[in-house]
Structure 1
Amino acid sequence: MSRLRQSMLALGAGGLAAVVLAVAAPSFQGEADAASNPATNPAVLQPVKAFAGIKNKEQRAAALFQEAGKVISSPRCMNCHPAGERPTQSDSMRPHQPLVVRGPHGTGEVGGTACATCHHEANFDAAGVPGNPKWAVAPLEMAWQGKSLGEICVQIKDRARNGDKDMAALVHHMADDELVGWGWHPGAGRTPAPGTQKQFGELIKAWAEAGAACPKG
């Protein structure tokens, strides 16, 4: 039995089944065409050594985070860190269709149904549905949309707003977490985050080691 069929059965017949079909089917013809053509990202991440010439540690740290911000500000990250109760989707960051709102503990819901009902452990490219075992909407205190990179940087360091992560745990999360890593393997029709998770993790680690100063603004 296909995962789409399983999702439909899990939600039940009628209106909720139609909701799942709305999730699975690409909303625009352009997305349907893209499903058979994996996207690439022309943006690159500069290596840590590119910032070695900045002797002032605070300025170097801010520059390193600015570079890592190419990933943080990409749709692959921003879509799941909405400012409101509704996540966004696709490269254009349009509101999630069907209507999904943040549920308890950061999980998205459709009429009380968890994200995992439609988003399985892996991408389901045939239906255009992304997947990961940890799929969820970020808690509201981790909202990034509408904020400057400097504001996000301050927020990321705040243990009251980052899941109580110290700097070592934060670096580990960025460099090794599998849901973060999904951003570089988002499935057909979605532009991956710039660079690689390894490069991103190295930038975040170097930022932390340089004092974790944030960009202005």
Structure 2
Amino acid sequence: MIRRPVLRPTRARIALAAAATALFGAAVASQTVAAPAPVPPPVAASDATVQGPEAFRSIADPKARSVALFGEMAKVIESPRCLNCHPRTDTPTQGDAMTVHNPPVSRGMGGMGVPGMTCNTCHGEANFTFANGEGSIPGDPAWALAPPEMAWAGKTRGEICRQLKDPARNGNKTLAELVEHNTHDHLVGWGWNPGHGRTPAPGTQEQFGALTAAWVASGAHCPD
């Protein structure tokens, strides 16, 4: 039987390994990730309820009624369930506190993340609740970051409103298609079924769709 020589560690090899480890550690430590711009706080608790279109019928002026309807829609749009995935940077936020996404991720191609850390690396087609029941990973078949032209975080309600009406910044949708999207889209609906550990968007998707339809019917006017 042929015996293979055993390579025993020597002081030289140990010193070389220690030096390589230290060099690698220094290289990693030198890499800093710029913190994304701060985002506005989530919608206030006092805005947690949403009224239907019928609550605004007493407003006689169509433009004033339209602006008021959009203000009610904005309670959903400005909730963490929407703003987390409509950031003004290439980094989403997460949770009710809208903290920076952990682990670190970036928008990447088509809002699906970068190679090696795409959205579907962690996010499946449905919410996944941890075995200990202390949280969950959100999921949806269409899970992705909204494109830059659909960024809402940090904008006024008037800016978001005008953006939603602009086909160049709303996914090339007509107002009628926007009503359909807000009323029936599955990913939009996730906002009211966000998984354990997250507060649902205010109201219901049915109310949100009805408010959108009433806003469009009254002229789709925007706040200043």
Of 75, 78, 83, the residue aligned with 1:78 is: 83
Structure 2-normalised TM-score?
0.76
Whole-Å separation in 2 of the counterparts to 1:67 and 1:129: 29
Matching of residue 113 in structure 1 with residue 117 in structure 2: yes
Of 126, 136, 157, the residue aligned with 1:122 is: 126
Query: Contact 1:175–1:202 at 8 Å: present in 2 too?
Result: yes
Unaligned runs of 5+ in 2: 1-44
Task: Give the corresponding residue for 2:209.
Answer: 201
CA displacement at 1:106 relative to structure 2: 1.9
Of 54, 61, 85, the residue aligned with 1:49 is: 54
**SS of residue in 2 equivalent to 1:162:** coil
Whole-Å separation in 1 of the counterparts to 2:65 and 2:165: 17
Whole-Å separation in 2 of the counterparts to 1:43 and 1:137: 24
CA displacement at 1:107 relative to structure 2: 1.6
Whole-Å separation in 2 of the counterparts to 1:104 and 1:55: 47
Q: CA 1:164–1:42 in 2, change beyond 3 Å: closer, same or farther?
A: closer
Structure 1-normalised TM-score?
0.78
CA displacement at 1:207 relative to structure 2: 0.1
Whole-Å separation in 2 of the counterparts to 1:60 and 1:160: 26
Query: Contact 1:119–1:135 at 8 Å: present in 2 too?
Result: yes
Query: Contact 1:86–1:96 at 8 Å: present in 2 too?
Result: yes
Per-residue displacement from partner, 1:42-64 (whole Å, max 9, x unpaired)? 82111111100111111101000
| Bigger Cα Rg | 2
Q: How many residues align?
A: 176
Unaligned runs of 5+ in 1: 1-39
Per-residue displacement from partner, 1:130-162 (whole Å, max 9, x unpaired)? 100000000001000000111100001111111
Whole-Å separation in 1 of the counterparts to 2:46 and 2:136: 19
Task: Give the corresponding residue for 1:20.
Answer: none
CA displacement at 1:108 relative to structure 2: 2.5
Q: Which runs of 4+ in 1 moved over 3 A?
A: none
Whole-Å separation in 2 of the counterparts to 1:129 and 1:121: 11
Query: Contact 1:82–1:144 at 8 Å: present in 2 too?
Result: yes
Of 166, 185, 193, the residue aligned with 1:185 is: 193
Task: Give the corresponding residue for 2:30.
Answer: none
Task: Give the corresponding residue for 1:147.
Answer: 155
Task: Give the corresponding residue for 2:41.
Answer: none
Where relative contact order (Cα < 8 A, 6+ residues apart) is larger, the structure is 1
Whole-Å separation in 2 of the counterparts to 1:142 and 1:42: 23
